[in-house]
Amino acid sequence: YFLNPVFLTLAHGSALVSSLNVSELSQVLAPSQFLITVPLRGLTGYRECQVRHWRYYTVHGAKLLSSVRDPEELHQWLEVEQFSKSLQQWHEEDVNIEGDLVPAKVLIVFRELVEKSIVSCNLSSKVTVLESFSSVVRVAVETSESQVEVELVPAVEIPTCWPEKARWPRCLKRWPSQEKVQCIKSLGFDLLARSNYHWQLCFSRAEHILMEGLDEDGGCRRKCFRVMRQMKEDVWCAGNKPVITAYHLQTVLFWTCEKYPRTKDWRCFPEAFLRLVQKLHKCVSQHFLKHYFLKNTNLLKYANTSDLDLVASKLAVFLENPVFCLD
């Protein structure tokens, strides 16, 4: 809650940053690690178009011949011309190079705004900007109980538009309902500045809606998720830098809900919970967890394989004798 004044100051201090509801835009990475997206404003009327070619720049604007890392399905380039309306700030060279909105430059401006906001809100004793070897903006927040680490991510919101890359829902799937699918796709998606070169597709609003109405039929899906997350934090994958995060567990839950859409599949907690753990074990063992909305994206692609194997072995031990957890 100490972060609320920071965001309010950002909203008043820059025409590019809007106010936000922290509860809706936060994501738990670990017990003391959070990710919060900060909506940027001044870009409306988005239209998807074929990018002429991928372009890369240094922070100072010099063109690079190639990228450090090739773009993936989750990545997207962004041009100011893709928006029918844009504030003048988006055309200035501190964020724009030859019409391209460069994430690295956006992150530099954003970091400066965060630092100024902490000072102007008299929060220097409670909020500290952490050093980072990447462009990620991380702050440490002192609470009454402990220190938590928060990653602040600038986000361009794209409402009422669904990306062509996200070929969802899949054919002949009964979960979620058609009404929920229409609602989710009408909310659009976000583009996050989380790297120097690429904007990252984000479906946090869609995921929020899926989680919100998970047990409308009286099932035990949310209970399964809560217990699985607690087991991950206490037994399978403890620590502040877990190789498996709550987001990975949420993705496993979505895939399992899609495979088992019937109400009766979620009436018996022990059976439903074991299905989830078995799915998680399979993904961790194979080092492969497919993004729920983008079929060609492996969420475990860059995870440490030794850490994944250790988690897989702990999951296997649990599956051999799961009774103690389900009593």
The per-residue DSSP string of 101-162 comes to: E-HHHHHHHHHHHHHHHHHHTT-TTTEEEPP-SSS-EEEEEE-SS-EEEEEEEEEEEETT--
Each residue's pLDDT tens digit, 117-148: 888 888 888 888 988 766 678 888 887 777 88
One-character DSSP codes across 55-111? -EE-TTSPEESS-SS---TTEE--BGGGEEEE-GGGGSTTTEETTEE-HHHHHHHHH
Return the ∠ at Cα 204 (arms to 202 and 209), rounded to 5°: 145
Least-confidence region, from 25-34, 100-109, 116-125, 299-308: 25-34
Q: Which residue has the higher pLDDT, 322 or 277?
A: 277
Each residue's pLDDT tens digit, 252-276: 999 999 999 999 999 999 999 999 9
- Which of 167, 151, 156, 153 has its CA nearest to residue 189? 156
Q: Which two tokens stand for residue 250?
A: 């949420």
Mean pLDDT calculated for residue range 275-288: 98
The number of beta carbons lying within 10 Å of the beta carbon of residue 224 is: 26
pLDDT in the model for residue 147: 83
pLDDT in the model for residue 245: 92
pLDDT in the model for residue 134: 66
Mean pLDDT calculated for residue range 94-113: 90
pLDDT in the model for residue 3: 40
pLDDT in the model for residue 24: 43
Q: Name the range with the highest mean pLDDT among 21-35, 63-77, 237-251.
A: 237-251
